[in-house]
Structure 1
Amino acid sequence: MAATGIGPGRRVLDVAAGTGNVAIPAALTGAAVVAADLTPALLAAGQKLAADRGASLTWREADAEDLPFEADEFDVVVSCVGAMFAPHHRATADEIVRVCRPGGTIGLISWTPGGFVGQLFATMKPFVAPPPPGVQPPPLWGSEDHVADLFGDRVGGVVAEKRTVRISAFASGAQFRDYFKANYGPTIVAYRGLDRAAELDAELAALGDRALVDGVMEWEYLLWTATVV
């Protein structure tokens, strides 16, 4: 919250908000928050979480590439490992800029290409069909150069900082693999109809084992903030 100045009275949009892991804390600061996501099931789960925590905010079904909001409608537009999964990066960046007022703040958290989740996508790549033309890999949003190219001179005051989050939920690479096979969308898709499942099983377990150090993984992400000019 500190990186984007979210607080009382600020109009905030969380793009690809999922179940509201950013939107709900933002609302609890007193900000006027809209959580937008393409998946109704995630919005429904988020509404329940918000009610349990006493947070008041608006939930909207919305495509990150075609946001149903007016130009300059928000003081702050954020996305935490959400908008990076929209298939067309420039269209998503264009929409984020459009709905954020001049002088407003954009704040993005994205997994980096070289970090653990970027390595996960690289590991799965040989097992999935090539993407349609124009679709770019999600971890590119964790590249400072790529994000700079997407937003260009439409923003200023850019701050880009690589950080890590410590994950201690997995005792082994196999446990990590099994959890992601059951719960993580891109991994579920990679296994769908796959006749080389045993090979991918081994690759993902090995990836997890390499990343585990004393029972902890360090997952790198890019925290990127800027002001709309």
Structure 2
Amino acid sequence: MNTTTTDLQADADRALKANHRVVWALGDYSAVAREVIPELGRVLVAESRIGPGDRVLDVAAGTGNASIEAARTGASVVASDLTPELLEIGRQDAARQGVELAFEEADAEALPYADDSFDAVLSCVGVMFAPHHEVAAGELTRVVRADGRLALINWTPEGFVGQLFATLKQFVPAPPAGVQPPPLWGDEEHVRALLGDRVAELSTQRRQLSVDRFASGAEFRDFFRDFYGPTAAAYRGIGDDEQRRAELDDALADLGDRHLEDGRMPWEYLLVTARVV
């Protein structure tokens, strides 16, 4: 039997998605969502005007930072993510808080929902990590009804987390061909090109999240090494190479120190809102 280029690409995509699941299951992303970025979920829900009766999908929801906040409004919410370990943590968090919503495994590039299924689609620093941006953008808009809402928060390339990924890039293997860098979703022109004429009333705003969780760059480094999947994966890939580990230690601590201002780190993000046509 002949192996076609399409077959090879499909195999490569499956392997890539399997690796993504492993990466995001490392550490404890719920600690990041709970201790560092809880404000982002609240901002996204407020800006998307979610309310009682709305049918809402949170794409690449992680442990439910935005999903749980959306469900508090009385909306009917589905939190979807590629990584089942994150969804299980989200289920437990929602149950402890007495909030009802659905947690479902789903690939942002192949959402298992019919066209026009939701009144609003959200993603809080989530869909930006889907490897093929145009495909993911098409799925986001496909599942929203006409005149429904799309709201995203993405880290910018120039901001702190964008610079974190630029730093990690020096210590991890190059991504497969065709995979686009996550922080591009935080570039206004890139997002406008992705969404194109599928949306109207597109608004982009650069904002700052003021993070006061870390007193030093070393404290930031240690927390993200232990709890944030991509950083943990970089250390795992280095293995027992003590020199490379020391170089990564120094690079992350320096990154944190350079962004500390009076005990706070400003983390820039792009807020995107639009009406789907």
- TM-score normalised by structure 2 residue count: 0.81
> 1:181: Cα distance to partner?
0.8
Tell me the residue number matched to 1:2. Answer: 46
Q: Which amino acid aligns with 1:224?
A: V
> 1:124: Cα distance to partner?
1.4
User: Which runs of 5 or more structure 1 residues have no equivalent in the other structure?
Assistant: none
Tell me the residue number matched to 2:111. Answer: 67
1:34 counterpart (78, 89, 92): 78
Tell me the residue number matched to 1:93. Answer: 137
Tell me the residue number matched to 1:225. Answer: 273
Tell me the residue number matched to 1:11. Answer: 55
> 1:193: Cα distance to partner?
2.9
Identity within the alignment, %? 62
> 1:38: Cα distance to partner?
1.0
Cα distance in 2 for residues equivalent to 1:218 and 1:167: 6
1:53 maps to 2:101 = no
* Aligned Cα root-mean-square deviation (Å): 0.9
Tell me the residue number matched to 2:251. Answer: 203
Q: Which amino acid aligns with 1:204?
A: L
Structure 1 residues 206-225: Cα deviation after superposition (integer angstroms, max 9, x where no partner): 01001111111010000000
Structure 1 residues 31-63: Cα deviation after superposition (integer angstroms, max 9, x where no partner): 010000111111111111111111111110111
Tell me the residue number matched to 2:183. Answer: 139
Other structure's SS at 1:219 match: strand
- The question of whether the paired residues in 1 share the 8 Å contact of 2:156 and 2:269 is answered with yes
> 1:4: Cα distance to partner?
1.1
- TM-score normalised by structure 1 residue count: 0.98
Greater helix content: 2
Tell me the residue number matched to 1:106. Answer: 150
Other structure's SS at 2:65 match: coil
Cα distance in 1 for residues equivalent to 2:213 and 2:122: 26
Greater strand content: 1
Q: Which amino acid aligns with 2:246?
A: A
